[in-house]
Structure 1
Amino acid sequence: MSVDVTADLRVKLDRIKTDILELAELGRDPADKGIYRMAFTDADMQGKQWLKDRIEDAGFEPLQDGALNVSAVLESGNDRPRILVGSHIDTVPCAGALDGTLGVVVGLECLRCLKENGIVPQRDVELIAFSDEEGRFGGMFGSQSVAGQMNPGAVATMKDLNGILLSDELKRHGYDAREALDAARDPESIAGYLELHIEQGPVLDHVQKPVGIVDEITGLFTWAVRLRGEANHAGTTPMELRNDAFMGLAEFANELPRILEENGSDRSRATIGKAQIMPGAANTVPGLVEFSLDVRDTSDETLDELAAALRKALSAIARRRNLMFDFEQMSYLQPVKCSELIVNQLTQQAKHLGLAYQTMPSGAAHDAQIMGRIVPVGMVFVPSKNGQSHSPAEWTAWSDIEAGANLLLHAIMSMTR
């Protein structure tokens, strides 16, 4: 009778702790305690080198492709399609310690565990830390490069909000951005992609479950909207004779709950996150407002219905208030369904480990969303304390990190048998 030696295999939490806390010091600002490791900054390049050193310490060869994605491979000795596991280590400005980093650190720990216990998988397992997931240069450069979504024009023109070209930033570090085109992988060479991530929302913390199993990753579109009225004197212009652009925005904002209820789903979200009133004087009726609109759902059809309803509402408000409106679509990401097979594997392993879990959508975009266009993907969430993320307050209990890491480890073992 054979005994399954992998059944009781667990990660070593102390190593995960050490790696997370070490990496968190790279790019940390002593004043606000936030981490500033934006893509391809000096701090980010230090983070990449730190990861290469940890990979080497674990007995693997550190690899880097043309998009500066950092990898390590636990080899199987055969050429079957491999399993990728990872996330990213770049951050937003004033970030916390876990967003992206957790998936990379835990992915490395899974490779270490398998290697140390003499487990030879039946297909290669590759850790990958994607570059620029946080979109400093307008996209998800690393995973888009691997997915074959880059082209020479995009690579040459991508720039950040300060006007710095991606090509110039990479050249500063001695790299040629055009080599990112060589990072594209053959989808047939990849059996699936797994990503562990903090939830970045309050659901798991609220229901007090240590892990979430993601079934869908939200799609989204963002608009830059303008409402044009007529600037006029605040004292001499009667209320009924005003073409007040801001009142148009206020009415539209008040309409959002109705539009979501009538045209959306329980997974729909709409946010006006930025607005500018012009001319911006206390004694002047606003003649122009410009604002952002971020709309999300896990269904393409629902997103289309919401877009139509939002345009109709803007048109009606503009007509009633004698305003002009126009908008520009700034971005669009299609929703992605996680692989049913991988979701089932994750569910089975959660039950095997005795973990309470929640099946849930991801309301944020991730590298898994890009990879999901070409290969089967799966995601594991762990709770975010009070739902906080993208701030120094971002945190997850070590016990929940351990639970998520063990679930990832056993999912990898299951998918590589």
Structure 2
Amino acid sequence: MLDCSTLKVNLKRIKSDILTLAEIGQNREDRGIYRMAFTDADMEGKRWLSGRIEDAGLSLSTDGAANVSGTLNGSTDKPRVMVGSHIDTVPCAGALDGTLGVVVGLECLRRMHEEKFVPERTLELIAFSDEEGRFGGMFGSQSVAGKINPERLATMSDLDGVLLSDEMRRHGYDPFAALDAARDPESIAHYLELHIEQGPVLDRLQKTIGIVDEITGLFTWSVWLRGEANHAGTTPMDMRNDAFMGLADFAHEVPRILEENGSDRSRATIGKAQILPGAANTVPGLVEFSLDVRDTSDVVLEELSIAFRKALSAIARRRNLMFEFEQKSYLAPVACSSDVVQQLQTQAKQLGLDYQTMPSGAAHDAQIMGSIVPIGMVFVPSKNGQSHSPAEWTAWSDIEAGANVMLQTLASLSQS
């Protein structure tokens, strides 16, 4: 049996793969990458990845959700170890989000195959479809986790009203074959994912590696405060039912609610607001705004939900407004496997790397996979905390360090 403890990734090859894939869907003017799910550029990216998998001597396959897999067969039929992420992007994206996890996973399996390492457990790289949300997000991993149904497949659409089913058919896929992408959880021992942090913590702490212990849950609301539109000059201040003042009151309440009902991992954001009628000389009669709330505890999320509803109701009564809300989405928080976390910490220590155990404040495919199998995540620093933009970047030395942690952990888990 080959000793993998000294095995290292080929950084030059990782660089080449990342930079080559970054050219697919890149806009020459703003340098952003436009490889949104099931666009022609996304399909070109999938074809490029398929070619790289075959060049590496791995077994290539694609499931009904258009997830692309490369497999290094094991010597036993024990449940497999999966590693992956996604290669679709947001509009005007950077080169690393999602892509890094796929390229590093490919490199890990490629290095083992080159060294003729035969794992006991089959190792599978998977690149999931539509993580970024053109059609709602997490489509590929939700399909694998058995969380897609025929109604959703028939109705999922993007912001322009384009149906997912039509886009899949345009590229030669039967959309309802995604129902057959579901895996038996008993066939998977672990799922691992390497990702850029997409935040400033590791960069500011000057840590090379982040080892994720929990992935945040979240809920998003659309909220309406309805008052009465009226003339800005003739309506006295004490006779107004000003919807915007209700939003202003609520915005000031958010820090208090987090302090009293949240945890140090709680986040709440009002990211979008619309004031109507929207005239400079009119008292606002309606405000619609978004509320994004996150925490790593479902209990805390529920407490925050109650507290936000109470605060909005109280403000509406005080301002003589009507309050309505609709929950647009909910993702349950997921804890990473303590065994995998410990394994990642052990490998980081053996490689002499300075790491930080931390939560993930963003959702990832690992969150969906964590609902059916044990998971682990590795973060590498994002320069200045930037992501979802052409300025997104990570030092090559940090990428190499994260990749070697992943390589050693995959090798270890494949033999357990």
Counterpart position of 1:347: 345
Query: Equivalents in 2 of 1:158, 1:97: separation in Å?
Result: 27
Name the SS of the counterpart of 1:14 in structure 2. helix
| Mapping of residues 267-286 of structure 1, within 5 Å | 267-286=265-284
**Alpha-carbon distance, 1:139 to partner:** 3.0
Deviations 1:222-252 (A, max 9, x none): 0000000000000010111110000100110
1:240 to 220, 224, 238: 238
Q: Which amino acid aligns with 1:113?
A: R
| Mapping of residues 219-368 of structure 1, within 5 Å | 219-368=217-366
1:121 and 2:133 equivalent?
A: no
Deviations 1:124-162 (A, max 9, x none): 000000000011111311000000001111111111111
Query: Equivalents in 1 of 2:123, 2:31: separation in Å?
Result: 35
1:137 to 135, 138, 143: 135
Query: Equivalents in 1 of 2:4, 2:172: separation in Å?
Result: 43
Name the SS of the counterpart of 1:30 in structure 2. coil
Query: Equivalents in 2 of 1:206, 1:178: separation in Å?
Result: 45
2:191 to 190, 193, 206: 193
**Alpha-carbon distance, 1:175 to partner:** 1.1
Q: Could you tell me the TM-score, scaled by structure 2's length?
A: 0.99
Deviations 1:97-134 (A, max 9, x none): 00000000000000011011111111000000000001
1:86 to 73, 84, 87: 84
Q: Which amino acid aligns with 2:414?
A: T
Query: Equivalents in 2 of 1:140, 1:298: separation in Å?
Result: 19
Query: Equivalents in 2 of 1:138, 1:214: separation in Å?
Result: 24
* Aligned partners of 2:59 and 2:72 also within 8 Å: no
Query: Equivalents in 1 of 2:393, 2:74: separation in Å?
Result: 35
Name the SS of the counterpart of 2:59 in structure 1. coil
1:388 and 2:367 equivalent?
A: no
Query: Equivalents in 1 of 2:61, 2:373: separation in Å?
Result: 21
Query: Equivalents in 2 of 1:166, 1:29: separation in Å?
Result: 24
**Alpha-carbon distance, 1:14 to partner:** 0.2
Q: Could you tell me the TM-score, scaled by structure 1's length?
A: 0.99
Q: Which amino acid aligns with 1:306?
A: L
Query: Equivalents in 1 of 2:265, 2:177: separation in Å?
Result: 38
Name the SS of the counterpart of 1:265 in structure 2. coil
Query: Equivalents in 2 of 1:69, 1:171: separation in Å?
Result: 15
Deviations 1:317-336 (A, max 9, x none): 00000000100000000000
- Detail structure 1 runs of 4+ shifted over 4 Å in the superposition: none
Name the SS of the counterpart of 2:265 in structure 1. coil
Q: Which amino acid aligns with 1:54?
A: R
Query: Equivalents in 2 of 1:411, 1:61: separation in Å?
Result: 21
Q: Which amino acid aligns with 1:386?
A: N
Deviations 1:32-75 (A, max 9, x none): 11000000000000000000011111112321000000001000
Counterpart position of 2:182: 184
Name the SS of the counterpart of 1:221 in structure 2. strand
Q: Which amino acid aligns with 2:91?
A: P
Name the SS of the counterpart of 1:194 in structure 2. strand
Counterpart position of 2:5: 7
Name the SS of the counterpart of 1:204 in structure 2. helix
1:56 to 37, 54, 64: 54
Query: Equivalents in 2 of 1:138, 1:89: separation in Å?
Result: 16
Query: Equivalents in 2 of 1:49, 1:374: separation in Å?
Result: 29
Name the SS of the counterpart of 1:21 in structure 2. helix
Counterpart position of 2:37: 39
Counterpart position of 1:215: 213
Gaps of 5+ in 1: none
Counting matched residue pairs gives 415
2:146 to 145, 148, 165: 148
Q: Which amino acid aligns with 1:322?
A: N
Identity of paired residues, percent? Answer: 76
Q: Which amino acid aligns with 2:82?
A: L
1:399 to 391, 397, 410: 397
Q: Which amino acid aligns with 1:209?
A: K
Name the SS of the counterpart of 2:81 in structure 1. strand
Name the SS of the counterpart of 2:357 in structure 1. strand
Name the SS of the counterpart of 2:38 in structure 1. coil
Query: Equivalents in 2 of 1:383, 1:77: separation in Å?
Result: 36
Name the SS of the counterpart of 1:62 in structure 2. strand
Query: Equivalents in 1 of 2:67, 2:362: separation in Å?
Result: 21
Deviations 1:157-216 (A, max 9, x none): 111111111100111111110000000000000000000000000000010011000000
Name the SS of the counterpart of 1:178 in structure 2. helix
Name the SS of the counterpart of 1:56 in structure 2. helix
Name the SS of the counterpart of 1:161 in structure 2. coil
Query: Equivalents in 1 of 2:60, 2:160: separation in Å?
Result: 32
Counterpart position of 1:163: 161
